[in-house]
Chain A
Amino acid sequence: MASTIQVDTIKDIGGNTIISSNGSGTFTSNLPASAPNVSTATGTLPIANGGTGATTLAAAGLANTPIWYAKSAANQTGIATATATKITYGTEVIDTDGAFASSKFTVPSGAAGKYFITGTITWLSGSWTSQQILYIYKNGSNAYAEYRFKDSTDMGMTVSAVLDLAASDYVEIYAQQPSGSNRDTWSSPYTFYGYKLIG
């Protein structure tokens, strides 16, 4: 059964007017302009409280940026044995903050935080076998490394880690092979990418 309540003022228990009406469609609200009154919020919306305005996660500070994604441009030849060698990724695909250059990502000012970082490499075929190491270098030194034993075929390998990075910190990918001779990579391609985690 339908029913209607008609009033011109809604008050709180202390007698304070919350909303009033002149009876002709004009309303006066005494609700606070800031949250939780999200109906008037614009720009960066307090999403946790709900919002109706047009916005994006990025506008609310929830974007996984900076992001970089680069891939090899050519085979890297002559990687010396028993030597940690910087891997070059000559084709830049994504670089949201212009922070990737010379196969190195440098954290921009104001973008410190936790970063998910991945580097990959493919060793060119050959009958040589040995224990390979793939490193993530932070500020010129090993921050994380993974091993893999190469058999007698082409071999791809991956290293991933989450690192806490401050502004101006930089990360690179290094690889090491102990085969006793120079070795080459195979630009199939292999990649180096990462992004800042939300939070």
Chain B
Amino acid sequence: MAQLSTKVKLYCEASSKVADFGLNGNVQLQDDSDGNGPYIKEWNVTGLAQPTDADLTTYDAAATTEETNNTVKNTRKAAYGDIGDQLDEIFKDIDAWKVRIQAIKDANPKG
């Protein structure tokens, strides 16, 4: 199951709103470590009602895809290496660099 924060983020984006989960953000999520999992503690998104559980369930598949893609992005980013090293690689042999980057993309496809 996708993270609550990802589903809330997509729920807000669907209404052109931004969910800010920071200390003074407009959405506060909380988990009391009591086995009941995370929940929405505070909701202050102007012009958008707090979602119900049913609302959020409709975003579960999309949220899972987004999280998978984020994992892929991070994996690719780590494999690409330091940007300075890549510039040096491009300068020396840009075609070889293209081949290496494409191989990383192919090995880590997005959903």
Contacts and interface: CB of A to CB of B under 8 A. Distances in A.
Interface of A: 76, 79-88, 103, 127, 133, 142, 145, 147, 174, 176, 178, 180-182
A71 to B, nearest CB: 16
A84 B29 contact: yes
A181 B71 contact: yes
A86 B30 CA distance: 8
B33 interface: yes
Contacts of A80: 3-5, 29, 31, 38
Interface of B: 3-5, 21-23, 28-34, 38, 41, 67, 70-71, 78
A86 B5 contact: no
Contacts of A174: 30
B4 A83 contact: yes
B28 A84 contact: yes
B23 A145 contact: yes
A87 B31 CA distance: 10
Given A81-B3, A178-B21, A86 B33 contact: yes
8 contacts: A79-B31, A82-B3, A85-B30, A85-B38, A86-B31, A103-B33, A178-B21, A181-B70
For B4, B33, B71, B78, the residue with the greatest tally of chain A CB atoms inside 10 Å of its CB is B33
A104 B19 CA distance: 30
B67 A180 contact: yes
B71 A82 contact: no
Contact of B70 (A83, A84, A180): A180
Contacts of B23: 133, 142, 145, 147, 176
B81 to A, nearest CB: 13
Contacts of B5: 80-83
Given A85-B33, A88-B33, A127-B78, 9 more contacts: A81-B5, A83-B4, A84-B29, A85-B38, A145-B23, A178-B22, A180-B67, A181-B70, A182-B3
